[in-house]
Copies of this chain bind each other. A is one copy, B any other.
């Protein structure tokens, strides 16, 4: 299976690493909007090319993995490149998934290609687990917790405050809330009761720390609905203790069965990730395999994790899967 990567940031590098772990895949090219000569990749012998070269390479690439951002890149790129390639993206603006799906579906169907959108862990594996658990236990409650992990969006928001040189924001599930959910108490939880936010901030010399802390804690949408802790640290400490991009979380459904709903069941799916982009990339690469296979069988159009038979993600045959994993 011949893979192309479009966009070479943290996610693109993660895809490059993941492709190396899958012997049935080969990286053919990395496409970038930057000057290709300035982009250094990890795989020897693989060309870095301008994004404008991509469509010429239709016959050399089985699946093009789109590693741009959801705000402005993917809404344009995924439908555009679905005209030439089977594509997979990690579009994660939940509210806009229906319109993104429609745009990719139209383009992919017209071209006879498959486009799998919103692949990763949320949306992605978390969605899948919400769906399976809902289908199994129709009478129940859903809970999703995120963290402990770095939120890029919240870290960026703190960095935009005057006097802030660098910042890292961790989202942390509230242990008592998690405990109550795991015990099947079906609590009704406010935003504040589910997660806390912890910020590590490197301030510019002489900056007013009290003002920065106040601006963070009162920032609407991002922080004002949460209990937030702010720590001012040195650049060295930031570099030493907060350079990773860990994340994770839990999807939990508690549901009832029986003649009177007398029996309770808890289904939990949890992730503890050292590297958010590398794990997301690993999920995407498995779905790239599925995109290729589904298209080889003649399927076209836009798909999500809900539509893909699990076996298509695996390099093993049906016989091997039944023998070893069933």
Given A265-B272, A272-B265, A275-B258, A132–B282 Cβ distance below 8 Å?
A: no
> Contacting A259 at CB < 8 Å: which of B42, B286, B306, B316?
B42
Count of identical protomers in the assembly: 2
A113 close to chain B: CB less than 8 A: no
CB of A266 to closest CB in B, whole Å: 4
A8 close to chain B: CB less than 8 A: no
Among listed A14-22, A59-67, A217-225, interface-contacting one: A14-22
Contact with B along A247-276 (1 / 0, CB 8 A): 000000001011100111111111111110
CB of A269 to closest CB in B, whole Å: 5
> Which positions 263-297 of chain A face chain B at CB distance < 8 Å?
263-275, 278-279, 281-283, 286, 289
**Cβ of A184: which chain B residues have Cβ within 8 Å of it?**
272
A310 close to chain B: CB less than 8 A: yes
Among listed A30-38, A136-144, A162-170, A200-208, interface-contacting one: A136-144
**Do residues B97 and A310 form an inter-chain contact, with CB atoms below 8 A?**
no
A56 close to chain B: CB less than 8 A: no
Given A97-B322, A325-B131, A326-B304, A265–B257 Cβ distance below 8 Å?
A: no
Top 5 A-B residue pairs of the complex, sorted by shortest distance between their CB atoms: A263-B274, A135-B313, A306-B311, A263-B275, A257-B278
With A97-B322, A306-B311 known, 13 other A-B pairs at CB within 8 A are A17-B259, A94-B326, A98-B322, A118-B326, A125-B132, A135-B313, A135-B314, A136-B279, A182-B272, A255-B282, A307-B311, A307-B318, A308-B309
CB<8 Å pairs between A and B, sample of 25: A17-B259, A21-B138, A21-B257, A22-B138, A97-B326, A101-B322, A123-B326, A125-B267, A130-B325, A131-B325, A134-B325, A137-B282, A258-B275, A263-B274, A265-B274, A265-B275, A266-B270, A266-B273, A267-B269, A304-B321, A306-B318, A306-B321, A306-B325, A307-B311, A309-B309
